[in-house]
Amino acid sequence: WRVFPVQMHKWLSEKLWQKSDILKALSLPPDKLLFCSHHLSHAASAFYCSPFHESAILTVDGVGEWATTAIWKAGPEGIQLCEEIRYPHSLGMFYSCITAHLGFAVNSGEYKVMGMASFGKPTFHDAMKQILILHEDGSFSLDLSFFQYHLHPRKPNTPKLEKLLGPPRHPADPFDPETEQSIHWANIAASAQLRLEEALLHLVK
């Protein structure tokens, strides 16, 4: 119920009118405006700009429609979906939740987490294995008891995540790699980065 009014406001204020707004702004007839799925757009922009005639494609992000991760086969006949993983299980959301825990803005501060990781060591790797689970078939899932981004509009993580990783960093807290507290945060970042890379290689294999 917390998320519903937020999403309804987005739909009623902007999303429902996107097609007519685009047609009006570009002075296009309706039959000239076509829509395709979010992950297919990613796959097409990679494949059709590449020098390859055949390809395997992996698309990964937060969420697009329902898909968060998709595997495609591309060739002369086009791009065909092979497998997909759906929301709320998402590598992008996993990384964004760690970003929030480390005191950075979601959807803009993730690069800071990647930078912070270089100052730490993956001492929380076992903890990340509890959060992000890799399966024998090449897929992954999240233990959703650590997250509530699909339930709460402002608080992406549950107290269980804080218990596992320690208190979150306040956005105003300085980062100084000479201090024990900052190294603690850097170790969390390094552990999340390693687990993300493991998950991506797992998907590729």
Look-up of token digits 């399966």: 135
Asked whether the beta carbons of 83 and 67 are under 8 A apart, the reply is: no
In order along its 205 residues, the chain shows pLDDT tens digits of 777 888 888 888 888 899 999 999 999 999 999 999 999 999 999 999 999 999 999 999 999 999 999 999 999 999 999 999 999 999 999 999 999 999 999 999 999 999 999 999 999 999 999 999 999 999 999 999 999 998 887 899 999 999 999 999 999 999 999 999 999 999 999 999 999 999 999 999 9
Q: Which helix (H) or strand (E) covers residue 21, if one does?
A: helix 18-26
Q: How do the residues of the chain divide into helix, strand and coil, expressed in percent and rounded to 5?
A: 45, 20, 35
Asked whether the beta carbons of 94 and 193 are under 8 A apart, the reply is: no
Asked whether the beta carbons of 95 and 110 are under 8 A apart, the reply is: yes
Alpha-carbon gap, residue 201 to 39, rounded angstroms: 19
What is the pLDDT, as a whole number, of residue 6?
A: 81
What is the pLDDT, as a whole number, of residue 61?
A: 93
What is the pLDDT, as a whole number, of residue 1?
A: 79
